[in-house]
Amino acid sequence: MKNEYVLLSIEKNVGVITLNRPEVGNALNLEMAQELMEVAIHCSESDEIRAVVITGAGNKFSVGGDLKSFANEGNEISSHLKSVTAYLHQAISYFARMNKPFIGAINGVAAGAGMSLACACDLAYASEKSKFVMAYNKIGLTPDGSGSYFLPRIVGIRRAFDLMYTNRMLDADEALEWGIVNQVVSENELMSVVLELGEDLANGPMEAYGATKKLFYHSLQETLESQMSLESQLLAERANSTEGKEGISAFLEKRKANYKTK
């Protein structure tokens, strides 16, 4: 893809998304939000891409919204932000709903919408120099980019309020302790570790990944019985699918499953 602010490359069935405005800390403006949505659609539809990694150019993941560009809109700032968030939110929806694993390689500061985007990843790995801050309330704003959905689910409601009200900044080790990231690795090793994980997951059962996402995202709005009913339905469907039959056969035959053939 020939985007300017959101780059996409493909390595061994892993789509690598790079937020590419390093001169402003990969701050999100209208153009970046639109390109992110376009890349999300491509990733969700591409047969070649079986796992997706997102990171930032330079030494930051994303400092969040480009407040200067927003302020330049003057009295039109409200309508402008509705456009920005329309693209951003549609992108995150595609990432969340696609069957493919969505992995964050958080290579520096993740603030505001940047932290929201990190929280929206299925898995998140952080460099030892990364920092996380919600930042919204400090400037009189409220979260976007799915932050109000994922953050309380990850850290709990009390800690989510703490991060919002106090503008508390977490370093990489604190983010790991709070469950915001899965692992902290050195800055030099971050991309190699994440790409190795992405390549491993790209060889896995994508439709099963997607069904698992569906189960997890539904779980907090269902009763115990309705959630178990959904589990039963999806389990039966997966067992009779091409992936399920291959996985069961491979287990019984004591060989590695091949999920890339249909």
Strand order in the sheet with 109-111: 109-111, 131-133, 170-171
Sequence-separated (6 or more) residues with CB below 8 Å from residue 55: 16, 17, 18, 19, 61, 104, 105, 106, 107, 190, 191, 194
C-alpha 34/C-alpha 32 separation (Å) is 5
Please check whether residues 243 and 133 belong to one and the same domain.
no
For the CA atoms of 12, 15, 16, 18, the dihedral, rounded to the nearest 10 degrees, stands at 160
Based on the fold, state whether residues 190 and 239 are members of the same structural domain.
no
Range list of β-strands (E), 84-227: 102-106, 109-111, 123-127, 131-133, 170-171, 183-185
Block residue for tokens 């539809």? 45
- CA 250, CA 86: separation in Å to the nearest integer? 43
Q: Are residues 114 and 86 in the same domain?
A: yes
pLDDT digits (tens, 9 = 90+) for 4-33: 999 999 999 999 999 999 999 999 999 999
Structural contact between residues 190 and 152, judged by C-beta atoms closer than 8 angstroms = no
Indicate left, alpha or beta for 27 from its phi (over 0: left) and psi (-120 to 50: alpha).
beta
Q: Is-contact 113 145, C-beta < 8 A?
A: yes
CA distances from 248 to 217, 242, 252, 257 (A): 26, 10, 6, 9
What pLDDT does 81 receive?
Answer: 97
Q: What is the pTM of this model?
A: 0.95
The sign one gets for the Cα dihedral 251, 256, 260, 262 is negative
- The residues that are catalytic are 89, 144
> What is the CATH number for 113?
3.90.226.10
pLDDT exceeding 70 applies to what percent of the chain?
A: 99
Token code pair at residue 185: 């690795």
Q: What's the domain count of the chain?
A: 2
180 to each of 98, 106, 188, 226, how far by Cα in Å? 21, 11, 21, 28
Q: Are residues 227 and 246 in the same domain?
A: yes
259 is a domain residue:
no
Is residue 249's pLDDT more than 80? yes
State the residue for tokens 């370093």: 171
In a domain, 257, yes or no: no
Closest of 127, 131, 129 to residue 190, by C-alpha: 127
Tell me the per-residue pLDDT of 180-219, one tens digit each, with 9 for 90 and over: 999 999 999 999 999 999 999 999 999 999 999 999 999 9
Do residue 169 and residue 244 come from a single domain?
Answer: no
Task: With respect to residue 132, please indicate whether it lies within any of the assigned structural domains.
Answer: yes
Same domain, 36 and 158: yes
Both 106 and 212 in one domain: the answer is no
Residue 67 lies in a domain: yes
Residues 123 and 210 in one domain: no
pLDDT tops 80 at residue 261: no
Q: Is 59 part of a structural domain of the chain?
A: yes
Residue 229 lies in a domain: yes
The one-letter amino acid at 27? A
Residue whose entry in the numeric block shows the structure tokens 């060989």: 255
- Tokens linked to 52: 């997706």
Which residues neighbour 106 within 8 Å (Cβ) at sequence distance 6 or greater? 55, 61, 118, 124, 125, 126, 127, 130, 132, 181
Task: State which residues form the domain around 137.
Answer: 6-202
pLDDT score, position 33: 98
**Residues 153, 194 share a domain:** yes
Q: Say if residue 262's pLDDT is above 60.
A: no
Single out the residue of 133, 145, 23 nearest to residue 81, CA to CA. 145
Query: In this structure, is residue 261 part of a structural domain?
Result: no
Q: pLDDT tens-digit profile of 159-171? A: 999 999 999 999 9
